[in-house]
Amino acid sequence: MHLLEAKNVHGGYGGMNILNGVDLAINADEIGVIVGPNGAGKSTLLKAIFGLLRVTEGSIELRGEPITNADPGELVLKKMAFVPQEKNIFPSLTVQENLEMGAYSRRDNYQHILEQVYHFFPPLADKRAQPAGELSGGQRQMVAMGRALMIEPSLILLDEPTAGLSPLYMADIFERIVTINAAGVGVLMVEQHAKQALKIAHKGFVLVAGQNRFTDTGMNLINNPEVAKAFLGG
């Protein structure tokens, strides 16, 4: 059984359809990467999966259980986390408060998770009392991912976690994503840095105009000359 499976997903904003039948599936220990041109509907797909956008046709399942158009709050309880592309922190809250908000749905003591997140993102530990809005772009991205990790997710959706970061920072974030995945967390992420992202991907999806253009393993996509030419910059 797949960890996450989306079948023939349609949806959009208002009356306009952006997703025109997307299929996608990843297993529990996998990293899935969605690439594609700007405006292809990558962010829209993640929002639709996370219940932030009405799915008008098709279905989405988490471990075989239907979650189509579920409430995001419900999905959080099912240990699914989402890091949006933009506005993914609470700028006036401190770093620590941002992480605490990630743990809002928890009823237990999550102090050890907090320490784990600080251990995983050392720059945050020094800034825990600082408003998150005062951090650098890379540090904000860490806050955003840290917030999502607070529920100890079994599936994490990441929308362009390396957007606007320098190559060094980017490699660093990818490395951390691999580590998170190695700890047993399924990852579905959208990336502009397609080649580097597909390198760490078990599954890759090339999305164009709200539909799958190519679906394969990460390596096969990189080695596919057609994909390389059109989507990976040669």
> Looking at residue 86, what DSSP letter applies?
S
How many angstroms separate the CA atoms of 58 and 212, rounded?
Answer: 14
User: Edge-to-edge, what's the strand order for the sheet holding 65-66?
Assistant: 16-26, 4-13, 55-62, 65-66
Query: Which does residue 126 touch among Mg ion, other proteins, ligand ATP, none (CB within 5 to 8 A, set by kind)?
Result: none
Is 13 a binding residue for ligand ATP by CB under 6 A? The answer is yes
Query: Which does residue 22 touch among Mg ion, other proteins, ligand ATP, none (CB within 5 to 8 A, set by kind)?
Result: none
Closest CA to 9 of 65, 51, 72: 51
Is 174 within 8 Å of 197 (Cβ atoms)?
Answer: yes
| 198-217 footprint of other proteins as x/- string (CB under 8 A) | --------------------
Half-sphere exposure of 61 (CA within 13 A, CB side): 15
How many angstroms separate the CA atoms of 125 and 231, rounded?
Answer: 38
- Only one of the segments 23-31, 77-85, 117-125, 168-176 lies at the binding site for Mg ion (rule: CB under 5 A); that segment is 77-85
Is 43 a binding residue for Mg ion by CB under 5 A? The answer is yes
- Only one of the segments 76-84, 109-117, 184-192, 211-219 lies at the binding site for other proteins (rule: CB under 8 A); that segment is 76-84
Cβ-based nearer residue to ligand ATP, 174 or 231:
231
Using CB under 6 A, which of 3, 4, 22, 43 touches ligand ATP?
A: 43
Is 52 a binding residue for other proteins by CB under 8 A? The answer is yes
Is 23 within 8 Å of 210 (Cβ atoms)?
Answer: no
Q: Which of residues 140-169 bind other proteins (CB under 8 A)?
A: 147, 151
How many angstroms separate the CA atoms of 12 and 19, rounded?
Answer: 6
Distance of CA 135 to the CA centre of its chain: 21
Smallest gap from Cβ 217 to ligand ATP, in A, equals 22
Is 10 within 8 Å of 195 (Cβ atoms)?
Answer: no
Question: If binding means CB under 6 A, how many residues of this protein chain bind ligand ATP?
Answer: 11
Binding site for other proteins (CB under 8 A): 50, 52, 72-73, 76-77, 82, 84, 87-93, 97, 100-102, 104-105, 147, 151
In the complex, the residues that contact ligand ATP under the rule CB under 6 A are 13, 18, 36, 38-44, 85
